[in-house]
Every structure is written in C-alpha cells, then in structure tokens.
Amino acid sequence: MIEKERIKHLNHIKESEGDYVLYWMQASQRLHYNHAFQYALLESERLSLPLVVYFGLMDHFPDAALRHYQFMVEGLLEVKSALSKKGIRFVVVHNSPEIGARKLSENAAVLVTDRGYLRIERDFRNRIKEKVSCPFIQVETNVVVPVDTVSQKEEYAAATIRRKIERLLPEFTHPMELGPYEVPMYSDALPVEEMLFENLAEILHDLDLDRGVLPVSHYFRGGYSEAKKHLKKFLEEKYSNFASLRNDPAVDVASNLSPYLHFGQISPLEIYLSLPLDLSENRASMVDELIVRRELAMNFVEHNPQYDTFGSISSFARDTLLIHKNDPRSYLYTKKELEESKTHDPYWNAAQSELVLKGKMHGYMRMYWGKKVIEWTASPEEAYDILVYLNNRYSLDGRDPNGYAGIAWCFGKHDRAWKEREIFGKVRYMNDKGLERKFSIGTYVKNVDALKQGEDSNG
C-alpha cells in the first residue's frame, strides 16, 4: 500500500505517450520497501509498459570520497542483479543525475523519483521539473511518516515532533509486499550513453573522485543484503540491551544501520516492522532514535536553509555562544591536528581515530567529539565548519540530515538552556570526567587501539 501523502506531482502534466515507465533512483537505493519503485511498477502494469530503472553516477559528488563511492556502488551492483532477476533493465549514466533523468524522460510515459531532503537533491529535481515532458512524480520512502505530513514548519525539539509522529504512526506503518509483477524487459536502445556497470574495481576506476579516504568494506560492505545481516545481528544479539547500554562506548549494542539508511539501502519502515512487538524500553528507545530523532533531522534540513552552517543555530544558543566567543581556551587545535587525532585527550583521539579507521564513530562519542571541538577552536563558526568537514569526509553515514542535525545539536539546537559557563554559555557542556564516571572508557580506547594495530598489520 502506498499512502497518498507519500505521492507528490512535481509538474502539471497528467498523461503522456511513451515507450516505458522510468524510475529515477536517487536517495532510495533498494528494491525492498521502496514505495517509489513500487509506484513505478504499478504504473508499468497500469500502462502495460516496460519499466526502466535509472541511476546517475556523477564524479566529485560534494564531500564524497572513494570510501563512500565504493559503499554505494556495492549496493547498486546488488540492485542491478536483483532487477535483472525480475527482467527489469537498470541503466547507469556517468553524469550529473538530473541530466540522464531528463534525457531518458523524453521517451518515458511517466517519470517517478524518490525523495532526498538535502539541498543538492532538491536542486537536481528542481532543475528539470519544468523541462520534463511527461508526468513527474515524487514518492517519499526514506521516512516512516512523510515529512510534510508531520509538520509544515521547523520543529523546536524532539519533544514537539514526537507527539505528532506518534499520532501518525499507525497510518504509515503498513507492511509492503512486492507483488508478482510481470513487466516486459525494455531492450531497445536508450537515448543516453550507458556506463558499463558490472565490475566494482572498473566502475570506481572510471570515476573522477577524491581517492584520499580509503574504503572500509572490511567493516561495512554496502548493499541491502549486508544491511539485513546487521539488522539480524542487532535483533538477535543487541536489541535486548539496547536501552540500557546504547550509550556505552565500551560495548557495541548499536545497530550500525546508519550507513545503510544514509544511502537508502534499507528502509526505516522495514526496520521498524522487524522490531519485536513488545512493550519494552528497548523498543521504545529504538523507535525514538530511528523515527523521532531521525525524522526531526529531516524536518531540520527541509525547513532550515542554513542547515550546514553555524547560521542554523537557534537564537538562544547562537547569542550565548557569541557572547562567550572571546573567552580564553585552554587548548587550541588546528583542523589538521584534529583530523590527525593529535589532541591532549585520549578519549577524543580514540573517537576521531575510530571515525577515520572504521568510517563510523560510536553515537555517544559523537556528542563528546562535537562538544570538544567547540571548546578547542577559536570560534563557534570555525568549530562548526571543522565538524561538518570531518563528519562528511570520514563517516560513511556523513552528508546526511542526521549529521547536520547532530552537529547542530552540539551547538544547542533541539536542546534546552543549561547553567551558564565559559565558552559554551548556556549550551550543554560535556567533559571527560563524565565519560570516566559513566563508562569503562579505557576499554573503548583499547578497542580503538586494536583497530589501529589491525590496520598496521594489514599494511
């Protein structure tokens, strides 16, 4: 079932002749629990036309490096193989995505796409929406509750959006099944130059991209089937301790699903529906992270045009940080020193090393990591830019609404005012004593050291 709120017509064309239905896959790089793919399949059936699935693979996607490209292409190769088993053609064009979408839409009866929320994803759609000569339909499938249905304005905090989301959840949590659709394969020539999309090494070789951040496939390999393995492990081995140990960096009870959610390789609805139907704190905690916090982040980037800069911060937090801008700092580090984990703080260094080596940092350490950069740089504006840079460059799940909202949170966004203190003003502060009091933080440092030794011995 595809709820009508997920569907939006991006132009005014109602009907058009064409040789195929075109699904422009962009933010939802999967077939399972993909309402946009399902919508396109239903259109194929209705119009008795073949379905063509298209992906535009561009060089130098902003802030993405080899690490991110490899993860994404691993997932897309799986999409291609699953489509070919269904007899559906997958076409990849080596260009900016909207260019191939527009060209292919010239012969299409309908153009369907999914919905990403970042500026660049909106720009891709906006650039062509008036130029497409067939109906152009967006189907929202990377959130449980459609963003505009939850709220038409920027929400103030998790508490304000939680009530709205909880009320709407029953309407948007229907299981989805891919029916036994029989669509003929489109085998004629297409009006674009297709990329030979078969071999991971050759695909990556042909792209012009930043190769300075190495892949981390030995920790996280891309693709739906890998996402399902993480989900299975989470449900079988971690879920029962999720609420009590989620914040503890010394143990690993997090799902590790964020890289897969970022590339749309798994759907949040599928994860939600796979949780045990119990009344436990574990379920409540996972639902709060996966839906409330995550969809608060979508609301933030949708409604706050400055989401990736210090300008996005709410006035109380911005004012208080600027009042304390010239407070003396005990330590000042450059971007390079931070990037290379060269601070006096072993816990912070471990967190940054985990990010670089593994492509993902423990969720609780992310908060500490962000707070300390505010304390150790000359201004909150500089701290903001450095955090965005490090998070986007090294994290597999970076360049995501969650990343921008997480960084903004470190600067007081979606949080309340606390007791005033130096540098932070009324913005919440975190310190190493808190880590020592709450966790076996030495174990976390040792675990990261073991990662480093593993990397060294592998050359």
Ligand X SMILES: Cc1cc2nc3c(=O)[nH]c(=O)nc-3n(C[C@H](O)[C@H](O)[C@H](O)COP(=O)(O)OP(=O)(O)OC[C@H]3O[C@@H](n4cnc5c(N)ncnc54)[C@H](O)[C@@H]3O)c2cc1C
Q: Strands, E, within 311-358: which ranges?
A: none
Q: With respect to ligand X, which residue has the nearer C-beta, 104 or 387?
A: 387
Among the candidate windows 31-39, 80-88, 286-294, 320-328, which touches ligand X by CB under 6 A?
286-294
Tell me the C-alpha to C-alpha distance, in Å, between residue 434 and each of 245, 330, 341, 346: 16, 19, 20, 14
Packing angle of the helix pair 119-129, 97-105 (nearest 10 deg): 30
142 sits near ligand X (criterion: CB under 6 A):
no
Give the number of residues in contact with ligand X, rule: CB under 6 A: 28
Phi-psi region of 259 (alpha: psi -120 to 50; beta: other; left: phi over 0): alpha
406 is a contact residue toward ligand X (CB under 6 A): yes
Rounded-to-integer distance, Cα 132 and Cα 109, Å: 11
Q: CB 418 → ligand X: shortest distance, Å?
A: 16
Question: For ligand X, which residue of 258, 267, 304, 353 counts as binding (CB under 6 A)?
Answer: 258
User: Please, which contacts does 226-232 make with residues 24 or more away whose CB atoms are closer than 8 Å?
Assistant: 226/74, 226/260, 226/265, 227/257, 227/260, 227/265, 227/266, 228/266, 230/255, 230/256, 230/257, 230/260, 231/255, 231/257, 231/266, 231/271, 231/274
- Assess 248 for contact with ligand X (CB under 6 A): no
Q: What does R_g of the chain's alpha carbons equal in angstroms?
A: 23
- Give the nearer residue to ligand X in terms of CB position, either 254 or 269: 254
Burial of 163 (C-beta count, 10 Å sphere; 0-12/13-18/19+): exposed
Q: Which of 56, 403, 412, 425 binds ligand X (CB under 6 A)?
A: 403
257 is a site residue for ligand X (CB under 6 A): yes
Q: Is 261 in the site for ligand X (CB under 6 A)?
A: yes
Q: Which stretch binds ligand X (CB under 6 A): 99-107, 184-192, 200-208, 248-256?
A: 248-256
> In this complex, which beta carbon is closest to ligand X, that of residue 30 or of residue 103?
30
- By beta-carbon proximity to ligand X, the closer residue of 103 and 294 is 294
Tokens of 335: 């971007």
CA distances from 201 to 66, 73, 229, 358, 451 (A): 11, 10, 24, 21, 25
Q: How far is the CB of 391 from ligand X (least distance, A)?
A: 5
Question: What CA–CA distances, in Å, run from 208 to 64, 97, 204, 344?
Answer: 11, 15, 8, 37
User: Which member of 300, 409, 439, 444 binds ligand X (CB under 6 A)?
Assistant: 409
| Cβ-proximal residues to 172 (8 Å cutoff; 6+ apart), any chain | 3, 5, 144, 145, 146, 149, 269
Single-letter residue type at 274: S
Residues 6+ apart with CB under 8 A from 349: 341, 342, 343
Stretch that binds ligand X, among 55-63, 198-206, 209-217, 406-414 (CB under 6 A): 406-414
Q: Which residue has the tokens 């908060």?
A: 367
For ligand X, the binding residue among 34, 256, 341, 377 (CB under 6 A) is 256
CB of 261 vs ligand X, minimal distance in Å: 5
User: Which of 183, 410, 435, 441: binder of ligand X (CB under 6 A)?
Assistant: 410
Q: Which one among 58, 112, 143, 254 touches ligand X, defined by CB under 6 A?
A: 254
- Find the binder of ligand X among 50, 370, 380, 425 (CB under 6 A): 370
Scanning 42-50, 63-71, 390-398, 448-456 for contacts with ligand X by CB under 6 A, the matching segment is: 390-398
Site for ligand X in 71-130 (CB under 6 A): none
CB of 300 to ligand X, least distance (A): 10
Q: Is residue 397 within the footprint of ligand X (CB under 6 A)?
A: yes
Sequence-ordered alpha helix ranges (H) in 15-157? 35-47, 66-85, 97-105, 119-129, 147-150
Query: Contact region for ligand X (CB under 6 A) — 46-54, 322-330, 403-411, 414-422?
Result: 403-411
**Quick one: which of 297, 355, 388, 435 contacts ligand X (CB under 6 A)?**
297
Q: Which residues sit at the interface with ligand X, rule CB under 6 A?
A: 246, 254-258, 261-262, 289-290, 293-294, 297, 363, 366-367, 370, 391, 395, 397-398, 400, 402-403, 406-407, 409-410
